[in-house]
Chains A and B, each alone.
Chain A
Amino acid sequence: MRRILHYLSRKQWLMIGLIVSLIIVQVWLDLKIPELITRITALVQTPGSLVSDIWQTGAIMMLAAFGSLVSAIVIGFLAARIGARFAQRLRSLLFNQVESFSMQEINRFSTASLITRSTNDITQVLMIIVMGVQVLIKAPIMAVWAISKIYDQGREWTLVTAIGVLVVFVLVGLLILFVMPKFRRMQILTDNITRVMRENLTGLKVVRAYNAVAYQTAKFEAANEELTDTQLFTTRSMSLMMPVMSTMMGGISVVIYWIGARMIDSAAAADKLPIFSNMVVFSNYAMQVIMSFMMLSMIFIMYPRASVSASRINEVLDTEAEILDGPYRDPVPGHEGEIEFRDVGFKYPDASEYVLCQISFQAKPGETVAFIGSTGSGKSTLLNLIPRFFDASEGEVLVGGRNVKDYTHRGLLNQIGYVPQRAVLFSGTVASNIAYGDNGRADFEFDIEQALSVAQAKDFVDKMDGGVDAPIARGGTNVSGGQKQRLSIARAIARKPDIYLFDDTFSALDYQTDAKLRSELKRVTGDVTTLIVAQRIGTIMGADQIIVLDEGRIVGRGKHRELLRDCRVYQEIAASQLSEEELAA
């Protein structure tokens, strides 16, 4: 938690300083009011006092109350500005940090966790800072000041107040000790019940087909019962808090008056009046002190969560991106579009097994190189090394005649049109999704129409309301899976790269669309290097070079017919997809 405070700027620290001094003013004014009541009490209890004196004192009290309000408003204003600015800064830092991450770092945290860190966790930290700036500073000042003011005149009263504060602390302490863990447990149980219900929802067909409604309901009821039990414990325990507090506050004023009566009785005649007025004032002070501590204890309840959030944020900010920029922007002249792997090996950090091992191949402009193999054979990972989503652990990956590590990120990616396995669309329009990002070329105009027609997306886009300006919902939920994939292919085509990387892009399309799209693509972009990862033999049969991967190693390479003859793994894959006649052909 302390570390995250470093992200407060100097200006914000100055503002906090200002808040501290304003709080001192406010406490002074707040305490002034009861003190002035002493004067009024004295006036009232002294026979023959002037009514005008009372009015005058009243006016001063009003001024004090108003002054307190003004300083409170200024404090609130400053605290709100500090908090919001701080949250903005953290959010921006996190966002930029995550943007600089490669897939390596993203995977380490998981996307879901990074999202929580950038949203919820920031809110948690923000809340404690806004509260903290006001309450954390005010409570001790208030307590010390109030007690010191009256301490000389009534030690017994002070003692009573101290006992009151102690009770607050003990109660809150007990609640933190016994109830807080249950709150954490409740979060787990809530997740649990949501999971059971999500299970029921996503498996609705199976649940009904297997007549398992009763089974599923029993499971839910068990989760529900467990959650309710914990909830009962926490809410019942928490219901102790307010009654104890209000009883204690009432009790304390009774005790203060009781002690007061004793003191007045035994005091010398001249001291009796001051003691009486002090008594009235002190019962007020006692309330203020206890209230302050109650607020303070709220902070203690909030703190653990905020502290966890803060450290989660720090964790992200402290993570340095491992993939760094090189000096070059452009490929070696004359080598544009070339790709070469030289003895490339890859393993995840801390893993003992290699995902890829001794991979070497070359792809020249205009060539199509395809990769096939079963799940886990490393074919997607291989593709990911080219745009540096990961860096090779061994060997060299060359693009345009240069090691990918020698490029700036922008420079490298400007040459590449990458289409991921899972199509990603962003909220906006069809056009904004196609003409996405930039490719480093000045005055480049995206040819959206051509990209759409090559990607076989023109038909359905034309049918959409607004054509290329039709809105795309967040996550592309308003178009179907196959349409999404075609738009994501169009996006790659529109930037006119030297190299296409298709990571199992075509499996989501039906055979006809797949075939049409590829032949059209070939026609329009003849001199572009294309790397395709595929599952279907049909997709890659015509490739210039097919590389067969098994458990991270190349187990075969060549054209379709050669592999069909020589490569056992390829034969197996083919046998599962093609008929006897086709295999024989």
Chain B
Amino acid sequence: MRRGFRQVRPGEKVEPLSVTNLKVALKRLIEYNRRYLPAIVTALIIAILAAAFRIAGPNQLKIMADEIALGLPGAGGIDFPSIRRVALILALLYGAGGVLSFLENFIMATVSARISQRMRSGVVDKLNKLPFKYFDQVSYGDVLSRMSNDVDAIGHSLNQNLDNLIVAATMFVGSLVMMFYNSWILALVAVVSSVLGIFIMTRIMGRSQKYFIAQQEGLGSINGHIEEIYSGHQVVKAYNAGREVKATFEGMNESLYESAWKSQFLSGMMMPLMHFVGNFGYVAVSVVGAVLVVRGVISFGVIVAFMMYVRQFTQPLSQVAQSMQPLQRAAAASGRVFEFFDEEELMDESHKYRSLGEVAGDVSFVNVRFGYDKAKPIIHDFSAEFKAGQKVAIVGPTGAGKTTLVNLLMRFYEIDGGEIKIDGIPISQVPREEVHDQFGMVLQDTWLFEGSVADNIRYSKTEVSDEQIIQAAKAVGLHHFIQTLPQGYDTILDESSSLSAGQKQLITIARAMIEDAPLLILDEATSSVDTRTEQIVQRAMDRLSEGRTSFVIAHRLSTIKNADIILVMKDGDIIEQGNHEQLLAQDGFYAELYNSQFEPVA
């Protein structure tokens, strides 16, 4: 699998991106969101317009100051109508600038929220099209983080930074032009003093980068340590490891302190430095301007205008500096999201037709070969035939490949060779959905979602009536319990609801009953419940498997003794096959496994 962008957890350092990566990421982002492009361009044009209004402001203020200066002794006296006119123009400029930039912000806010929404949907869409293979290599947390953190980072920086960048550029260029238009000497003074200040600033910021990284890493490792120790609290206590643990913690804490104050200090210097750069330019402009006024080169109003232009000129520079980091993060984030979008999907099956019809339940494996990694086959050459209604048990030690067989049967993974047939029809020739329709499934991890009991039983079969739900619940012996719940079948199941493992399992069995499929898979369905509850669950499963071909994986061998066929697996191969008595008589691996259950404590 390609690993262009490494997974970055929140709080982890962001690797600096090269310009090419930034470009590629931006290009993909634009392509993906082509439909929002007109809105974004409009917003950016409005942003430039708003900035232009702000740039025009100080020039008018200059005129106003000059007019007022006429009121000083020795000058001609104030021309109020003219001042009123200028004031009105200014009010209009500021007012219109404000309205325009609000409009621009509003559009960008809307667009970025919609883009985030679309990308989140995109991630979930993609997720449901990916083969299981993908999830063997990538953790759930990773996928989740792409949907939440990464998409958030993109949305946030679109909303805050993209237009900022444009506005900053406009302000920068505009102020520069206006300054040179008013007085080239003062303009030079302003530019030189600001650039000097900013040069010093960037040098310092460059230095601080390593402390930021150190701080992020320090924070990451100490948080990791806290999480680890808190989760293992019982063990830490029981083994008297408190002293060691605390020593490690305090060591991390001390080095975090060092990097934390340094990075905090250096980043805190940004503001005062900007302030100084502003002041520096401001003073330079005032003084040089004053000299020029005294010499009669410029009017006083020019100084007033410059005081504002200097700020408008230096501010964008710091804004650009501030926007760079979030933009980099966003580029990295969109890199990760697009990497996810680019993952190879399940084969397109739109050309396949449903052709299984009413399935009786015969299943056969013909020379099946498979490996999660093609180079390392786990199932070498497996053939077997099962008749409709049979109970097939798959046993073997952990890691023997029992679940793999189920995965192949369900077409969660595609086989590398041979065929799996249902009623004689190869399952690779029909759409995946049709294969799934033939199976009911109960797994070890009882998967319930936050929703009512009824919804959990009904699941995607929305057409099923309440009456049928109750029938299913009665069949698995859950009806009475459900009625004791506060809202009966409408009780919402969430983390706070106190269902036992057995009750949860019974709900998933009821779900499989509603599914009412000719084939059934029971994968370690009773291993997470205690042995007394197991009997109840077992009884429910027996009801469920009546008249269906069932595949049972179990590690308690007592539950599968009555199976029609027992497949004994070891290291990916079926090494023995037959019913309980036959296998015991063989006195092979199965017999050994079976007898080891009852070996007493020596």
Contacts and interface: CB of A to CB of B under 8 A. Distances in A.
B90 A92 contact: no
Interface stretch (B31-39, B102-110, B327-335, B368-376): B102-110
B601 A519 contact: yes
Given A81-B261, A424-B231, A579-B558, A69 B102 contact: no
Given A254-B87, A510-B555, A576 B534 contact: yes
A577 interface: yes
Contact of B128 (A68, A207, A560): A207
Contacts of A376: 500
Chain A CB within 10 Å — which of B54, B245, B286, B535 has the most?
A: B286
B412 A577 contact: no
Contacts of A349: none
25 contacts: A65-B279, A68-B272, A72-B275, A76-B272, A80-B262, A84-B260, A98-B233, A106-B230, A201-B135, A202-B445, A205-B443, A207-B128, A209-B521, A212-B460, A215-B462, A224-B117, A254-B91, A374-B530, A413-B238, A420-B235, A426-B229, A438-B240, A474-B228, A510-B555, A519-B602
A414 interface: yes
B233 A111 contact: yes
A251 B61 CA distance: 11
Given A76-B265, A389-B234, A541-B600, A276 B443 contact: no
Given A47-B74, A254-B94, A265-B78, A436 B241 contact: yes
A197 B144 CA distance: 7
Interface in A194-211: 194-195, 197-211
A272 to B, nearest CB: 5
Interface of B is mostly: helix
Nearest to A477: B139
A244 B103 CA distance: 12
Interface stretch (B19-27, B288-296, B336-344, B386-394): B288-296
A104 to B, nearest CB: 12
A552 interface: no
Interface string B136-152: 00001001100110000
B294 A375 contact: no
Given A72-B275, A200-B127, A374-B533, A61 B601 contact: no
B117 to A, nearest CB: 4
Nearest to A425: B232
Contacts of A436: 235, 239, 241
Interface stretch (B468-476, B482-490, B591-599): B591-599
The residue in A91, A190, A202, A261 that gathers the most chain B C-beta atoms within 10 A of its C-beta is A261
Interface in B257-302: 257, 260-262, 264-265, 268-269, 271-273, 275-276, 279-280, 282-284, 286-287, 290-291, 293-295, 300
Nearest to B311: A287
A211 B72 contact: no
Given A61-B286, A95-B229, A537-B531, 12 more contacts: A54-B294, A61-B283, A119-B223, A193-B147, A217-B128, A240-B102, A247-B94, A272-B73, A437-B239, A488-B235, A510-B398, A512-B596
A95 B441 CA distance: 45
A480 B243 CA distance: 29
A143 interface: no
Contacts of A224: 117, 120-121
B237 A387 contact: yes
B443 A206 contact: yes
Interface string B101-126: 11001101110111011001101110
Given A279-B68, A438-B240, A68 B101 contact: no
Contact of B597 (A57, A269, A538): A538
Interface in B512-560: 515, 521, 529-535, 538, 555-556, 558
A426 B226 CA distance: 11
B113 A69 contact: no
A214 B240 contact: no
B240 A410 contact: yes
B98 A427 contact: no
Contacts of B241: 436-438
A491 interface: yes
Given A200-B128, A210-B436, A375-B529, A215 B68 contact: no
A375 B500 contact: yes
Contact of A220 (B124, B236, B535, B596): B124
B600 A261 contact: no
Interface stretch (B176-184, B247-255, B356-364, B416-424): B247-255
Contacts of A246: 54, 94, 97-98, 101
Interface stretch (A36-44, A146-154, A170-178, A394-402): A36-44
B16 interface: no
Contacts of A215: 459-460, 462
B99 interface: yes
Contacts of B128: 200, 207-208, 213, 216-217
A400 B265 CA distance: 56
Contact of B97 (A49, A68, A250): A250
Chain A to chain B: the 3 pairs with minimum beta-carbon distance, closest first: A437-B239, A58-B287, A239-B105
Contacts of A387: 237-238
A495 to B, nearest CB: 7
Contact of B242 (A33, A84, A99, A193): A99
A130 interface: yes
B175 interface: no
B69 A45 contact: yes
A427 B228 contact: yes
Given A375-B500, A420-B234, A576-B558, A239 B102 contact: yes
A511 B69 CA distance: 99
A578 B121 contact: no
B501 interface: yes
Contacts of B57: 250
**Chain A interface SS verdict (over half):** helix
Contacts of A220: 121, 124
A44 B264 contact: no
A559 to B, nearest CB: 10
A87 B95 CA distance: 45
B71 interface: yes
B439 interface: yes
Nearest to B434: A211
A72 B272 contact: yes
A7 B147 CA distance: 39
B283 A260 contact: no
A175 to B, nearest CB: 14
A525 interface: no
Contact of A202 (B91, B283, B447): B447
Nearest to B295: A51
B397 interface: yes
A111 B234 CA distance: 11
Given A261-B68, A512-B593, A243 B98 contact: yes
Most buried by B among A72, A238, A542: A72
A217 B190 CA distance: 57
A553 B30 CA distance: 68
A33 B278 CA distance: 12
B599 A95 contact: no
Indicate the member of A72, A210, A389, A475 with the most B CB atoms within 10 Å.
Answer: A210
A54 B287 contact: yes
A374 B531 contact: yes
Interface stretch (A228-236, A296-304, A339-347, A357-365): A228-236
Nearest to A530: B601
A264 B600 contact: no
Given A193-B120, A194-B144, A247-B97, A43 B290 contact: yes
Contact of A221 (B121, B155, B556): B121
A318 interface: no
Nearest to B396: A510
A62 interface: yes
B467 interface: no
B561 interface: yes
Contacts of B398: 480, 482, 510
